[in-house]
Amino acid sequence: MLMERIWSGNALRNFHYLIACPETGEALAVDPLEWRLCLAAARERGWQIRQIVNTHEHADHTGGNVPLKAATQATVAAHAGAAARIGGVDRGLHKGDLIRVGRTVELECLDTPGHTMTHVCLLSHSEEPALFCGDTLFNAGAGNCYNGGAPEALYDTFVTQLARLPDEIRIQPGHEYLARNLEFTLNREPHNADAARLLEEARHHEPASARITTLGEEKRINTFFRLHSPEVIAGLREQFPDLPQNPDARTVFVRLRELRNRW
Ligand SMILES: [Zn+2]
Ligand SMILES: [Zn+2]
Protein backbone atom coordinates (compact mmCIF):
# COMPACT_ATOMS: atom_id res chain seq x y z
CA MET A 1 0.00 0.00 0.00
CA LEU A 2 1.27 3.45 -0.89
CA MET A 3 0.01 6.39 1.12
CA GLU A 4 0.40 10.13 1.03
CA ARG A 5 -0.89 12.46 3.69
CA ILE A 6 -1.82 15.89 2.36
CA TRP A 7 -1.84 18.92 4.64
CA SER A 8 -4.66 21.28 3.66
CA GLY A 9 -3.11 24.44 5.09
CA ASN A 10 -6.63 25.65 5.99
CA ALA A 11 -7.91 27.10 9.26
CA LEU A 12 -9.62 23.83 10.20
CA ARG A 13 -6.28 22.03 9.88
CA ASN A 14 -7.66 19.18 7.73
CA PHE A 15 -5.53 16.25 6.65
CA HIS A 16 -6.40 14.41 3.43
CA TYR A 17 -5.04 11.04 2.37
CA LEU A 18 -4.29 9.30 -0.89
CA ILE A 19 -4.03 5.52 -0.68
CA ALA A 20 -2.69 3.81 -3.79
CA CYS A 21 -1.92 0.39 -5.23
CA PRO A 22 1.78 0.10 -6.11
CA GLU A 23 1.04 -2.26 -9.02
CA THR A 24 -1.70 -0.35 -10.82
CA GLY A 25 -1.37 3.26 -9.60
CA GLU A 26 -5.08 3.35 -8.79
CA ALA A 27 -5.78 5.59 -5.80
CA LEU A 28 -8.45 6.36 -3.25
CA ALA A 29 -8.83 9.81 -1.66
CA VAL A 30 -10.04 10.13 1.93
CA ASP A 31 -12.02 13.32 2.73
CA PRO A 32 -10.47 15.40 -0.09
CA LEU A 33 -11.77 18.87 0.83
CA GLU A 34 -8.84 20.70 -0.80
CA TRP A 35 -9.32 18.57 -3.87
CA ARG A 36 -6.87 20.47 -6.07
CA LEU A 37 -4.05 19.57 -3.69
CA CYS A 38 -5.13 15.94 -3.84
CA LEU A 39 -5.29 15.96 -7.62
CA ALA A 40 -1.89 17.61 -7.91
CA ALA A 41 -0.33 15.11 -5.49
CA ALA A 42 -1.82 12.18 -7.42
CA ARG A 43 -0.54 13.53 -10.73
CA GLU A 44 2.91 14.05 -9.30
CA ARG A 45 3.03 10.43 -8.15
CA GLY A 46 1.51 9.08 -11.37
CA TRP A 47 -1.61 7.85 -9.57
CA GLN A 48 -5.20 7.89 -10.83
CA ILE A 49 -7.87 8.73 -8.25
CA ARG A 50 -10.68 6.22 -8.82
CA GLN A 51 -12.49 6.39 -5.48
CA ILE A 52 -13.37 8.95 -2.84
CA VAL A 53 -14.33 7.94 0.71
CA ASN A 54 -15.91 10.33 3.20
CA THR A 55 -15.42 9.28 6.81
CA HIS A 56 -18.57 11.22 7.73
CA GLU A 57 -21.02 13.83 6.53
CA HIS A 58 -19.47 17.11 7.73
CA ALA A 59 -18.81 19.61 4.98
CA ASP A 60 -15.09 19.90 5.75
CA HIS A 61 -14.83 16.23 4.73
CA THR A 62 -17.29 16.10 1.82
CA GLY A 63 -16.82 19.55 0.22
CA GLY A 64 -14.36 18.31 -2.40
CA ASN A 65 -16.49 15.41 -3.68
CA VAL A 66 -18.26 17.13 -6.58
CA PRO A 67 -15.28 18.87 -8.19
CA LEU A 68 -12.93 15.92 -7.65
CA LYS A 69 -15.49 13.53 -9.10
CA ALA A 70 -15.90 15.84 -12.09
CA ALA A 71 -12.14 15.91 -12.62
CA THR A 72 -11.50 12.18 -12.20
CA GLN A 73 -14.83 10.27 -12.62
CA ALA A 74 -14.10 8.73 -9.23
CA THR A 75 -16.90 6.99 -7.34
CA VAL A 76 -17.91 8.25 -3.89
CA ALA A 77 -18.40 5.98 -0.87
CA ALA A 78 -19.62 6.92 2.61
CA HIS A 79 -21.51 5.42 5.56
CA ALA A 80 -24.84 4.14 4.22
CA GLY A 81 -26.67 6.18 6.86
CA ALA A 82 -24.95 9.41 5.76
CA ALA A 83 -25.40 8.94 2.01
CA ALA A 84 -28.67 10.86 1.72
CA ARG A 85 -27.29 13.83 3.64
CA ILE A 86 -24.07 13.93 1.62
CA GLY A 87 -25.68 13.42 -1.78
CA GLY A 88 -24.00 11.92 -4.85
CA VAL A 89 -22.86 8.82 -2.95
CA ASP A 90 -22.36 5.79 -5.23
CA ARG A 91 -21.67 3.22 -2.51
CA GLY A 92 -23.15 3.07 0.98
CA LEU A 93 -20.71 1.51 3.45
CA HIS A 94 -21.52 -0.90 6.27
CA LYS A 95 -19.50 -2.42 9.10
CA GLY A 96 -17.11 -5.04 7.74
CA ASP A 97 -17.30 -3.96 4.10
CA LEU A 98 -14.03 -4.23 2.20
CA ILE A 99 -12.84 -1.51 -0.15
CA ARG A 100 -10.27 -2.59 -2.69
CA VAL A 101 -7.83 -0.20 -4.35
CA GLY A 102 -6.17 -1.60 -7.46
CA ARG A 103 -4.94 -5.17 -7.09
CA THR A 104 -3.15 -5.04 -3.77
CA VAL A 105 -4.85 -2.73 -1.27
CA GLU A 106 -7.68 -3.77 1.01
CA LEU A 107 -9.38 -1.44 3.49
CA GLU A 108 -11.89 -2.63 6.08
CA CYS A 109 -14.78 -0.39 7.13
CA LEU A 110 -15.37 0.06 10.84
CA ASP A 111 -18.70 1.56 11.90
CA THR A 112 -17.59 4.09 14.53
CA PRO A 113 -20.37 6.34 15.84
CA GLY A 114 -19.77 9.15 18.32
CA HIS A 115 -18.47 12.25 16.51
CA THR A 116 -21.51 11.76 14.29
CA MET A 117 -23.73 8.68 14.34
CA THR A 118 -22.79 7.78 10.74
CA HIS A 119 -19.00 7.73 10.76
CA VAL A 120 -16.67 5.11 9.28
CA CYS A 121 -12.99 4.47 9.95
CA LEU A 122 -10.89 2.60 7.40
CA LEU A 123 -8.44 -0.03 8.61
CA SER A 124 -5.80 -1.01 6.10
CA HIS A 125 -4.90 -4.67 5.80
CA SER A 126 -1.28 -3.90 4.99
CA GLU A 127 2.20 -4.62 6.29
CA GLU A 128 2.22 -1.37 8.23
CA PRO A 129 -1.45 -1.15 9.19
CA ALA A 130 -3.05 2.27 9.44
CA LEU A 131 -6.39 3.54 10.68
CA PHE A 132 -7.94 6.42 8.73
CA CYS A 133 -10.15 7.67 11.51
CA GLY A 134 -11.65 10.98 10.39
CA ASP A 135 -12.92 12.94 13.40
CA THR A 136 -13.37 9.93 15.72
CA LEU A 137 -9.84 9.67 17.09
CA PHE A 138 -7.20 12.38 16.73
CA ASN A 139 -3.53 12.12 17.56
CA ALA A 140 -3.74 12.53 21.36
CA GLY A 141 -7.45 13.43 21.32
CA ALA A 142 -11.05 12.52 20.54
CA GLY A 143 -13.62 14.10 18.23
CA ASN A 144 -16.22 16.47 19.64
CA CYS A 145 -19.86 15.39 19.75
CA TYR A 146 -21.81 18.61 19.32
CA ASN A 147 -22.61 18.40 15.60
CA GLY A 148 -24.76 15.30 15.50
CA GLY A 149 -22.80 13.00 17.81
CA ALA A 150 -23.09 11.52 21.29
CA PRO A 151 -20.28 11.12 23.85
CA GLU A 152 -21.67 7.81 25.16
CA ALA A 153 -21.50 6.35 21.65
CA LEU A 154 -17.98 7.70 21.21
CA TYR A 155 -16.98 6.00 24.47
CA ASP A 156 -18.35 2.68 23.19
CA THR A 157 -16.43 3.12 19.93
CA PHE A 158 -13.20 3.84 21.80
CA VAL A 159 -13.52 0.95 24.23
CA THR A 160 -15.15 -1.79 22.19
CA GLN A 161 -13.46 -1.10 18.85
CA LEU A 162 -10.43 1.20 18.78
CA ALA A 163 -8.74 0.06 22.01
CA ARG A 164 -8.90 -3.56 20.82
CA LEU A 165 -6.94 -2.96 17.61
CA PRO A 166 -3.23 -3.88 17.51
CA ASP A 167 -0.89 -1.37 19.17
CA GLU A 168 1.28 -0.91 16.06
CA ILE A 169 -1.53 0.63 14.00
CA ARG A 170 -0.72 4.12 12.77
CA ILE A 171 -3.36 6.73 13.54
CA GLN A 172 -4.23 8.89 10.51
CA PRO A 173 -6.93 11.38 11.56
CA GLY A 174 -8.89 14.04 9.69
CA HIS A 175 -7.26 17.02 11.42
CA GLU A 176 -3.92 18.09 12.87
CA TYR A 177 -4.47 18.97 16.55
CA LEU A 178 -1.54 17.16 18.16
CA ALA A 179 0.03 19.94 20.25
CA ARG A 180 -3.31 21.31 21.43
CA ASN A 181 -4.49 17.83 22.41
CA LEU A 182 -1.28 17.10 24.29
CA GLU A 183 -1.76 20.32 26.21
CA PHE A 184 -5.16 19.01 27.30
CA THR A 185 -3.64 15.67 28.31
CA LEU A 186 -1.10 17.52 30.46
CA ASN A 187 -3.81 19.75 31.90
CA ARG A 188 -5.59 16.59 33.07
CA GLU A 189 -2.50 14.53 33.88
CA PRO A 190 0.45 16.86 34.62
CA HIS A 191 2.80 13.97 35.42
CA ASN A 192 2.36 12.24 32.05
CA ALA A 193 6.02 12.23 30.97
CA ASP A 194 5.30 10.66 27.55
CA ALA A 195 2.86 13.47 26.71
CA ALA A 196 5.31 16.13 27.91
CA ARG A 197 8.10 14.70 25.75
CA LEU A 198 5.91 14.48 22.68
CA LEU A 199 4.56 18.01 23.18
CA GLU A 200 8.10 19.37 23.15
CA GLU A 201 8.64 17.58 19.83
CA ALA A 202 5.23 18.59 18.40
CA ARG A 203 5.88 22.28 19.02
CA HIS A 204 8.91 22.13 16.74
CA HIS A 205 7.08 20.50 13.83
CA GLU A 206 5.24 22.12 10.95
CA PRO A 207 1.72 20.67 10.62
CA ALA A 208 2.65 19.17 7.24
CA SER A 209 5.29 17.03 8.91
CA ALA A 210 3.42 16.39 12.17
CA ARG A 211 4.23 13.17 13.96
CA ILE A 212 2.09 10.10 13.22
CA THR A 213 1.33 8.25 16.43
CA THR A 214 0.60 4.56 16.86
CA LEU A 215 -2.32 3.20 18.86
CA GLY A 216 0.17 1.97 21.49
CA GLU A 217 1.42 5.54 21.94
CA GLU A 218 -2.13 6.84 22.06
CA LYS A 219 -2.81 4.64 25.06
CA ARG A 220 -0.01 6.51 26.87
CA ILE A 221 -0.64 10.09 25.72
CA ASN A 222 -4.35 10.36 24.91
CA THR A 223 -6.53 11.26 27.91
CA PHE A 224 -9.48 9.52 26.28
CA PHE A 225 -7.65 6.18 26.55
CA ARG A 226 -6.50 6.85 30.13
CA LEU A 227 -9.80 6.47 31.90
CA HIS A 228 -8.33 4.49 34.81
CA SER A 229 -5.45 6.88 35.57
CA PRO A 230 -5.66 7.91 39.26
CA GLU A 231 -4.40 11.39 38.34
CA VAL A 232 -7.09 11.82 35.65
CA ILE A 233 -9.81 10.67 38.06
CA ALA A 234 -8.58 12.85 40.95
CA GLY A 235 -8.47 15.90 38.68
CA LEU A 236 -11.98 15.21 37.39
CA ARG A 237 -13.37 14.91 40.91
CA GLU A 238 -12.04 18.41 41.63
CA GLN A 239 -13.95 19.72 38.59
CA PHE A 240 -17.08 17.66 39.23
CA PRO A 241 -17.61 17.24 42.99
CA ASP A 242 -20.67 15.07 42.34
CA LEU A 243 -18.45 12.24 41.02
CA PRO A 244 -18.03 9.16 43.25
CA GLN A 245 -14.56 8.13 44.41
CA ASN A 246 -14.29 5.41 41.77
CA PRO A 247 -16.32 6.58 38.78
CA ASP A 248 -16.80 4.06 35.98
CA ALA A 249 -14.83 4.49 32.77
CA ARG A 250 -17.85 5.64 30.76
CA THR A 251 -18.53 8.48 33.21
CA VAL A 252 -14.85 9.51 33.16
CA PHE A 253 -14.86 9.60 29.34
CA VAL A 254 -18.06 11.63 29.10
CA ARG A 255 -16.91 14.17 31.70
CA LEU A 256 -13.52 14.51 30.00
CA ARG A 257 -15.29 15.17 26.70
CA GLU A 258 -17.44 17.78 28.46
CA LEU A 259 -14.36 19.51 29.91
CA ARG A 260 -12.57 19.45 26.55
CA ASN A 261 -15.56 21.23 24.96
CA ARG A 262 -14.97 24.32 27.03
CA TRP A 263 -11.23 24.07 27.51
ZN1 LIG B 1 -16.51 16.22 11.64
ZN1 LIG C 1 -13.58 17.55 10.48
The pLDDT tens digits of the residues spanning 238-258 come to 999 999 999 999 999 999 999
Query: Mean pLDDT, to the nearest integer, of 191-210?
Result: 93
* Chain centroid to CA 224: 14
Task: Measure 103 CA to ligand 1 centroid, in angstroms.
Answer: 31
Residue 191 pLDDT grade (very low, low, confident, very high; cuts 50, 70, 90):
very high
Task: Measure 129 CA to ligand 2 centroid, in angstroms.
Answer: 22
State yes or no: pLDDT of 41 exceeds 90.
Answer: yes
The pLDDT tens digits of the residues spanning 116-135 come to 999 999 999 998 999 999 99
Diameter over CA atoms, the chain: 59
Task: Measure 242 CA to ligand 2 centroid, in angstroms.
Answer: 33
Task: Measure 21 CA to ligand 2 centroid, in angstroms.
Answer: 26
Strands 105-111 and 98-101 come out as antiparallel
Give me the percent of the chain exceeding a pLDDT of 70: 100
Residue 178 pLDDT grade (very low, low, confident, very high; cuts 50, 70, 90):
very high
State yes or no: pLDDT of 195 exceeds 90.
Answer: yes
Task: Measure 238 CA to ligand 1 centroid, in angstroms.
Answer: 30
Number of the ligand closest to the Cα of 82: 1
Closest by CA position to 181, among listed 199, 158, 168, 154? 199
pLDDT score for 180: 96
Query: Mean pLDDT, to the nearest integer, of 162-190?
Result: 97
Number of the ligand closest to the Cα of 136: 1
The pLDDT tens digits of the residues spanning 65-76 come to 999 999 999 999
How would you label 201-225 residue by residue, b for 16+ Cβ within 10 Å and e otherwise?
ebeeeebeebeebbbebbebbbbbb
The pLDDT tens digits of the residues spanning 46-61 come to 999 999 999 999 999 9
Number of the ligand closest to the Cα of 12: 2
The pLDDT tens digits of the residues spanning 219-230 come to 999 999 999 999
Query: Mean pLDDT, to the nearest integer, of 198-217?
Result: 93
Is residue 253 within 8 A of residue 188, CB to CB? The reply is: no
Q: Average model confidence (pLDDT) for the chain?
A: 97
Task: Measure 107 CA to ligand 1 centroid, in angstroms.
Answer: 21
Number of the ligand closest to the Cα of 33: 2
Is residue 56 within 8 A of residue 115, CB to CB? The reply is: yes
pLDDT score for 49: 98
pLDDT score for 103: 97
pLDDT score for 205: 86
